[in-house]
Amino acid sequence: MQMNGSSSVFATAPNIPADAIFALTAEYVADEFPDKVNLGQGAYRDETGQPWVTTSVARSREIITTQGLLHEYLPILGLPEFRHRAAELALGREIHAARQSQLATCQTLSGTGALHLAGQIIKSCQSSLPKVYIPEPTWSNHHLIFSTLGYQCHEFQYYDPSTRALDFSSYLFMLNSVDPGSIVILHACAHNPTGLDPTPQQWKEIGGIMKRRQLFPLFDAAYLGFNSGDFEQDAFALRYFIHDLEMESAVCLSFAKNMGLYGERVGCLVLATSTAVVARNSQSVLESIQRSEISNPPAFGARVAATILGDNDLRKLWFQDMKTMSSRIQSMRRLLYDYLVKHNTPGNWNHILEQSGMFGFLGLAPEIVVELKDKYHIYMAANSRISIAGLNAGNVEYVARSIATVLTREQNDSHR
Ligand code: LMR
């Protein structure tokens, strides 16, 4: 039979542009310039620019291997001890003990899988789909995940470019004006891409309005412990909503960044529900959705994580690993600022020091970002988000000097 395009089942498939951040990584890999710098995708690099297998993960892998690796299926909901320990970690021992019967948990394909599953279960439980409110800017996948599920996604202004700060009044305005029952995507900490989080006081205000207006908090918690190096501090907001405000919430956990398990896709969806019966039923729905989508999740990464979380010494080692990563990022943030100032880079760069987490949001125009890539082989997201972990003692001055050169030239051109 002859094949021709118009008879294809897929004839109407549009040509969707490649995902920007993965396409940028591919461009970086193909670049042959020896001193190229990758500040694109958010993946930790050590001071030599190499990926780092954390000490706790390396040790956990040894233990698992010594125990003998079997390759059996996990249960549909995932490795039970992983689910239990992940939920306990996120909520803290006391809150977890108090709320355990009201929790539904499911191991997921990292944070993305958890967000998707949260969207699926809400969809299957609601007769009409609630609207989803997403900060602008945000991680690009938020829109894709929820719109692919059929949700109407709305943006709210999170960042004020004129002050380079959180636009708290727009945030509150949105919370006060949207329909009850709407879902609000909350970055639990280390807002991606701006690096700007509400203060604890602001979180309390956000939570208070959300509770009063019956909005549903959906936490994207991809950076717990990685942001400040202190897990408790980073988990403040979600614990406040679930424990102090007693709100039903979804928490989407990822161990990609904080354990460095990027490729293993280790995540967990934790639903804090209002009663034990609701939790039990929700868990059965999660199990049924999971069975239809992936049957059962991958085992190895969940074993690595569960082994770390279940052993006091390994857990301490992991907390130290998070400090190692977050403090190196903090010191690079400082060094980048110092070099930008030293090289008389036009503009004020205080915002870099005010942001936290893996990313720096530089505030550069798109054409400057392109010039830095094309002329200086420095790769960053189009919105000028940089993954600070890509900086090290060997390249940070080069990056600052290049930014200074491009911005000075631009300033001189505009004065002509
Ligand atoms: C990022 O924001 O760069 C990472 O979370 C990687 C990704 O999947 O986009």
Q: Running along the chain, 416 residues long, what does each successive block of 10 average in pLDDT? A: 74 95 97 97 95 98 89 97 98 97 98 98 96 97 97 98 95 98 97 96 98 98 92 96 98 97 98 98 98 98 98 97 95 98 96 94 96 98 96 97 96 82
220 is catalytic: yes
Per DSSP, what are the bridge partners of residue 134?
A: 155
Residue-level pLDDT at 4 = 67
Integer Cα distance of 301 and 298 in angstroms:
7
Using most ligand atoms within 8 A of CB, pick from 24, 39, 41, 257 the residue to mutate for ligand 1: 41
Sorted by sequence, the CB contacts under 8 Å of residue 119 that are 6+ apart come out as: 132, 145, 146, 149, 151
Sorted by sequence, the CB contacts under 8 Å of residue 131 that are 6+ apart come out as: 151, 152, 153, 154, 178, 179, 182, 183
Domain 19-52+326-411, CATH among 3.20.20.140, 3.40.50.970, 3.30.70.20, 3.90.1150.10: 3.90.1150.10
Per DSSP, what are the bridge partners of residue 105?
A: 270
Distance of CA 36 to the CA centre of its chain: 25
Residue-level pLDDT at 5 = 64
Residue of the nearest CA to atom 4 in ligand 1? 42
Integer Cα distance of 224 and 134 in angstroms:
20
CATH code of the domain made up of 73-310:
3.40.640.10
State the distance from the centre of ligand 1 to the C-alpha of 185, rounded, in angstroms.
16
Residue-level pLDDT at 3 = 66
Domain with CATH 3.90.1150.10 in the chain: 19-52+326-411
Q: Which atom of ligand 1 has the smallest separation from the CA of 381?
A: 3
Residue-level pLDDT at 68 = 82
The torsion angle over the Cα atoms of residues 216, 355, 204 and 130, rounded to 10 degrees, is -10
Name the residue among 156, 268, 141, 269 with its Cα closest to residue 215.
156
Using the structure block, give the residue that is written with the tokens 């919370």. 175
Domain with CATH 3.40.640.10 in the chain: 73-310
Q: Which atom of ligand 1 has the smallest separation from the CA of 257?
A: 5
CB 372 within 8 A of CB 28: no
203 is catalytic: no
List pocket residues of ligand 1, CB cut-off 6 Å.
Answer: 21, 41-42, 139, 192
State the distance from the centre of ligand 1 to the C-alpha of 260, rounded, in angstroms.
13
CB 235 within 8 A of CB 299: no
Using most ligand atoms within 8 A of CB, pick from 21, 138, 265 the residue to mutate for ligand 1: 21
Instruction: Say which of 197, 220, 234, 321 is annotated catalytic.
Output: 220
State the distance from the centre of ligand 1 to the C-alpha of 150, rounded, in angstroms.
22
257 is catalytic: yes
State the distance from the centre of ligand 1 to the C-alpha of 41, rounded, in angstroms.
5
Instruction: Say which of 197, 203, 234, 257 is annotated catalytic.
Output: 257
Instruction: Say which of 52, 139, 318, 349 is annotated catalytic.
Output: 139
Residue of the nearest CA to atom 2 in ligand 1? 42
